[in-house]
Structure 1
Amino acid sequence: MNISSLLSGKNRQGMLLLLSAVLFFSACSSRRNTAKPSTTAAAKTADAMAHLKNRHLYRFITDWTGVQYRLGGLDKKGIDCSGFALLLQKDIYGNTLPRRSRDQAAAVREKNMSQLNEGDLVFFSFGGGAVDHVGVYLNNNYFVHASTTRGVVVDDLSLPAYQRVIVKAGSVKN
């Protein structure tokens, strides 16, 4: 049997029917399950970013996300936590802050954690003594900071690792 005899008459109709069935069933099998995906940490982080009121803040964070940590750094080659907070406050809110996180802590009006607003500062003491880390509150218990191991990231403030070391939070005094 050659190709021309396969494509003639009834054989041709059968081939078209077979090809149509294959295409139909392969298209159906490629459909994905449309069930709602489980909420992940990444989805919650994306949700916090999506609910920022200040679009300039959103752009600032996305521009800096992933920049590596560098003690004393103030540019995209590397930045530390207090440098990141300083630049964010200056560029987004027009606030002037001292360079060191412990001095920045003295420059805020303290608030209860439940009263924090977008742009407020959150201070930590990982060393057990004075303030040694700062981040900027976003919403829904999320904050952005320059992590020593992961660079500039958005993190969940309700994680036990942060809850154990929070020492102060508040808004910049004007």
Structure 2
Amino acid sequence: MTHARFVCCFLLIFPLFRLSAEIPLAAVSTDDARTMLIEAAQKYRGVPYRYGGMSRQGLDCSGLVYLSFRDSFKVEVPRRAEDLYHWTERLEKAAIQPGDLVFFQRDGHIFHVGIYIGDGWFFHSASDGPKTGVMYSRLNESFWSRSYAGAGRALP
């Protein structure tokens, strides 16, 4: 999707949704929207991993993204990591900003998503490894750097 088409679709769809204080998303600055998304996600820190999970009892990676958007903007986004990948605007790694989504692949398929928070860190719900559940990780960690598939922008 070209940037112009993405922005056009975004502006047509997102003003219909409201924040909890009844402020149109279009009225929120980009920086504020990014901060709101990250803060919403961080409220789930420490929640255990659960495949298909969508509650504080357990979350998977796309469930974390879904709930973060819902909690922040009352917006429903695609529920699967691969669908989120296709839904977002592609970004070069150097252009990633806090609040953008980062994606990871295995065997050519997107299997994981996280929310970039800045300085090489992202927030996600990990299902495997020495630690699992909702946590911070670095993009340059061996596993994540090997499986990095790209980044996508969902916010303006």
Q: Would you say same fold, with TM above 0.5?
A: yes
| Alpha-carbon distance in structure 1 between the residues aligned to 2:41 and 2:155 | 22
Amino acid across the alignment from 2:150: K
Which residue of 1 is the match for residue 14 of structure 2? none
Which residue of 1 is the match for residue 11 of structure 2? none
TM-score, normalised to structure 2's length?
0.70
| Alpha-carbon distance in structure 1 between the residues aligned to 2:73 and 2:120 | 20
Work out the percentage of aligned pairs sharing the same amino acid. 30
| Alpha-carbon distance in structure 2 between the residues aligned to 1:118 and 1:95 | 19
Structure 1 residue runs of 5 or longer lacking an equivalent are 1-51
Which residue of 2 is the match for residue 159 of structure 1? 141
Amino acid across the alignment from 2:64: F
SS of the equivalent of 1:132 reads strand
Aligned pair 1:129/2:108, yes or no?
Answer: yes
TM-score, normalised to structure 1's length?
0.63
| Alpha-carbon distance in structure 2 between the residues aligned to 1:94 and 1:166 | 29
Structure 2 residue runs of 5 or longer lacking an equivalent are 1-31
Report deviation, 1:93.
4.6
| Alpha-carbon distance in structure 1 between the residues aligned to 2:121 and 2:147 | 15
Report deviation, 1:96.
3.3
Please list the CA deviations of residues 18-66 of structure 1 after superposition, one character each: whole Å capped at 9, or x if unmatched. Answer: xxxxxxxxxxxxxxxxxxxxxxxxxxxxxxxxxx996544543442111
Amino acid across the alignment from 1:172: A
Aligned pair 1:171/2:153, yes or no?
Answer: yes
Please list the CA deviations of residues 95-117 of structure 1 after superposition, one character each: whole Å capped at 9, or x if unmatched. Answer: 43111110110001000111111
Question: Please, which moves more after superposition, 86-95 or 102-111?
Answer: 86-95
Alignment RMSD = 2.3
| Alpha-carbon distance in structure 2 between the residues aligned to 1:101 and 1:131 | 6
Q: Which has the higher contact order (CA 8 A, sep 6+)?
A: 2
| Alpha-carbon distance in structure 2 between the residues aligned to 1:124 and 1:55 | 23
SS of the equivalent of 2:110 reads coil
| Alpha-carbon distance in structure 2 between the residues aligned to 1:146 and 1:81 | 5
Alignment coverage as a number of residue pairs: 122
